[in-house]
Amino acid sequence: MLFQVYGENSIYQIIGWVLVFLGLVVTNEIQRRSKLGGYGFFVALLGGLTVYFIAIYVGAARGAEWALNNPTYVYMNSWFHYAKLYAASIGCIGFMWLKYKTALGKKDWFKCYPFVIVAINILIAVASDFESAVKGSLALSQTGSRWWLSSEGVWLYGGWWNWANGLAGIINILCMTGWWGIYSSKKHDDMLWPDMTWVYIVAYDIWNFVYTYLNLPTHSWYCGFALLLAPTVAAIFWNKGGWIQNRANTLATWCMFAQVFPMFQDYSRFSVIPSLYADGFMDKAVHPTLVDPRAQGVVAVLSILINCAALALIVKRAKAQHINPYKQEVFKGTRDFEEAMARAE
């Protein structure tokens, strides 16, 4: 079992998951269907939150109790969460420029922007994976255990699985093809990347789930499961070719929510921990005594195998068509690609 979803809080854990999933699906529809929805979330709301975050850190620097005890300051203070929030939001803004053909979105060279910003987002996670591996090794040499306590008060168990999944993330970047094959939908509600078919989506979803499972274990039930499924469901059923836009929208939205309300996933009846914590709980004040890393190893191996398989398929198709898979679209002629292109302007 990947997660400890049982006991008296199991019904709340399931309800919490459903609410997060549905909330992300609904907000994504608001963001993609109108300029007001998109810019309202990723410019106006984010701007307001930025002022709020700055106020917290200024207050904390001055020793203000309200700031020092603020959940955002206590539980969401790592570099990763802020890097992810702003990188995802910047991605959303660029995607809107492309679909509405405004600002830099009018320029042909800007079509490679989705590749660049997605690669940056992946590399942020890869760096975090490698950081956990190194700190786990240091903890092992110093304490005899791979457990190390993050700045946010979460016990992490760093090991070879982090190196494996970090490598899978780098391979995942190479699986993005048809960099200049970016289009606007006929209704101008979506930025389309037709060559980003199910092959890439599956490889990315598995890699990113494993990242959250290894490095954000107390959040993974939501940010690794619900958050990844929301954009994928939209892409499968009603938004062909728009998966990466869905992914950016839902990621930025979740990051904003989690940054302001971390207690929802960290310390409430909705909280879920993975099987790693064999003691049955995670408390920053109590060093774990038992550990079950088997699931971490299994999912990490799956991540690198799936991404290697995806890259092998891309290389095979590119060779058969005698094309450069990054300059040209390698999945042209497949059902996913053609269904997405049918929506293109």
Q: Indicate the residue type of 139.
A: A
In a domain, 4, yes or no: no
Q: Give the Cα separation of 161 and 166 in Å (integer).
A: 8
Number of compact structural domains in the chain: 1
Q: Give the Cα separation of 309 and 171 in Å (integer).
A: 10
In a domain, 5, yes or no: no
In a domain, 3, yes or no: no
Give residue 1's pLDDT. 84
pTM equals 0.96
Q: Give the Cα separation of 98 and 116 in Å (integer).
A: 14
Residues in contact with 25: Cβ distance below 8 Å, sequence separation at least 6, in sequence order: 230, 233, 234
Structure tokens at 138: 């240091």
In a domain, 282, yes or no: yes
Alpha carbon 26 to chain centroid, angstroms: 18
Residue pair 175/200 in contact (Cβ under 8 Å)? The answer is yes
Q: Give the Cα separation of 343 and 266 in Å (integer).
A: 41
In a domain, 198, yes or no: yes
Residue pair 225/328 in contact (Cβ under 8 Å)? The answer is no
The dihedrals phi and psi of 11, each to the nearest 5 degrees, come to -65, -40
Alpha carbon 73 to chain centroid, angstroms: 21
Give residue 317's pLDDT. 98
In a domain, 63, yes or no: yes
In a domain, 2, yes or no: no
Q: Which of 65, 180, 23 is nearest to 116 (CA)?
A: 180
CA–CA distances in Å: residue 288 to residues 2, 17, 140, 277, 321: 18, 26, 14, 7, 54
Give residue 314's pLDDT. 98
Structure tokens at 195: 């060559």
Give residue 124's pLDDT. 97
Segments of the chain with pLDDT less than 70: none
Could you tell me the residue range of the domain that residue 288 belongs to? 10-341
Query: Within 13 Å and on the Cβ side, how many CA atoms surround 153?
Result: 16
